[in-house]
Amino acid sequence: MFNSRTKKVLIIGATGQLGRLCLKVFSGEKYQVMGTGFSRLSSELLPLDLSQEGEAVAVVSRVRPDIAIICGAMTNVDGCESDREKAFQINLKSPADIAREMKKIPGGKLVFLSTDYVFDGTSGPYDENAETRPLNVYGESKLEGEQAVLEVSDNNLVVRTTTVYSFQEGGNNFAMQLLKRLSQKEKMLVPSDQWATPTYAPDLALALEKLLEIDARGIFHAAGSDFVSRLDFAREAARILKLDPNLIQGLPTSELKQKAKRPLKAGLRTERLEKDVGPLMRGIKEALYNFAENLGKSPIK
């Protein structure tokens, strides 16, 4: 039975790294949680393809949630560069449609997940007021998605994050890729000049819950507390997870032949989040110990 204070939360993209954790975090008695899936749909989720115009509106108008959280996105940065139209449909047009539909629900609130790729990476880590200048289609589509969602209602919330990782069976986040490769004694090429503030996904899911508790609006950055290069992050992960660091090979981005341009000094400052909900975003060491425990390995401290 749900009491009158129970809020209905719809997690759009509940099969991804963050979406799965949101399903857990919002499963307490304060919320009634539902989720959507796409390629990894299961029986307890609603089907939704954000690349198909009209589908998102149909789901939202049927569910009529008090809160919708868009975790689903076209996250493949090089894939976005190859298919601009699809990237904008998934990362901008469908979120804008959802925002308009949520506005019809009294008190309806939409949370849109965004990225530090809205910045050009010349002077990170960035705060919420820093000037945006995306270098690639993924960043452009996310920036326009943010703007559309905030334009529809000032009740809405945009949460920017970066380099999200967690232990997730079958997951493809950076730490999982490293774990898979190095466990199989395969070499891994890692950019040595891409800097960010790696974000532990369980902390991010909790930050979303805390932000909703205080009815946060506008833009917030939620990211880990360490500003590191991908190479240093990979080396620290290898050390803590007891993997062979010699299999990690650092290379400048210019030699990686990635289709989309990358912001080099990106990452996010989180003073606003800390001031409003407290210091809950862990640095890489503490988070990787927790990752190792979830993996069932006793970490090296």
Ligand X SMILES: NC(=O)c1ccc[n+]([C@@H]2O[C@H](COP(=O)([O-])OP(=O)(O)OC[C@H]3O[C@@H](n4cnc5c(N)ncnc54)[C@H](OP(=O)(O)O)[C@@H]3O)[C@@H](O)[C@H]2O)c1
Q: Decide if 212 contacts 156 (C-beta within 8 A).
A: no
Tokens, residue 74: 């076209």
| Residue 283 DSSP SS3 | coil
CA 298 – CA 116 distance, rounded (Å) = 32
Question: Is position 163 an interface residue for ligand X (rule: CB under 6 A)?
Answer: yes
| Burial status of residue 37 (CB atoms within 10 A of its CB: 0-12, 13-18, 19 or more) | buried
Q: Decide if 196 contacts 124 (C-beta within 8 A).
A: yes
Indicate which single residue of 115, 225, 270, 290 sits in contact with ligand X (rule: CB under 6 A).
115
What torsion do the CA atoms of 100, 105, 108, 113 make, to the nearest 10 degrees? -30
> Which residues within the stretch 180-239 sit at the binding site for ligand X (CB under 6 A)?
none
Q: How many residues bind ligand X (CB under 6 A)?
A: 28
Question: Minimum distance from CB of 261 to ligand X (Å)?
Answer: 16
Supply the DSSP string of 217-233, one letter for each residue.
Answer: -EEEE---S--EEHHHH
Question: Minimum distance from CB of 294 to ligand X (Å)?
Answer: 16
Nearer to ligand X, 51 or 155 (CB): 51
Rg from Cα positions in the chain: 19
Nearer to ligand X, 23 or 182 (CB): 23
Question: Is position 60 an interface residue for ligand X (rule: CB under 6 A)?
Answer: no
Between vectors from CA 169 to CA 163 and to CA 170, what angle results, nearest 5°? 80
Question: Is position 38 an interface residue for ligand X (rule: CB under 6 A)?
Answer: yes
Nearer to ligand X, 38 or 119 (CB): 38
Nearer to ligand X, 36 or 290 (CB): 36
CA 273 – CA 19 distance, rounded (Å) = 20
Instruction: State the CB neighbour count (10 A cutoff) for residue 62.
Output: 8
Question: Is position 24 an interface residue for ligand X (rule: CB under 6 A)?
Answer: no
For the chain, what's the residue count? Answer: 301
Q: Which amino acid is at 17?
A: Q
Nearer to ligand X, 157 or 246 (CB): 157
Interface region with ligand X, contact rule CB under 6 A, candidates 162-170, 181-189, 234-242, 276-284 = 162-170
Nearer to ligand X, 49 or 193 (CB): 49
Q: Decide if 270 contacts 223 (C-beta within 8 A).
A: yes
Indicate which single residue of 136, 141, 156, 161 sits in contact with ligand X (rule: CB under 6 A).
161
Interface region with ligand X, contact rule CB under 6 A, candidates 155-163, 243-251, 259-267, 272-280 = 155-163
Interface region with ligand X, contact rule CB under 6 A, candidates 1-9, 42-50, 175-183, 225-233 = 42-50
Query: Which residue's entry shows tokens 């493949």?
Result: 76
Question: Is position 39 an interface residue for ligand X (rule: CB under 6 A)?
Answer: yes
Encoded one letter per residue, x for contact with ligand X by CB under 6 A and - for no contact, window 67-96 reads ----xxxxx--------------x------
Contact residues toward ligand X (CB under 6 A) are 13, 15-19, 37-41, 48-51, 71-75, 90, 113, 115, 161-164, 173
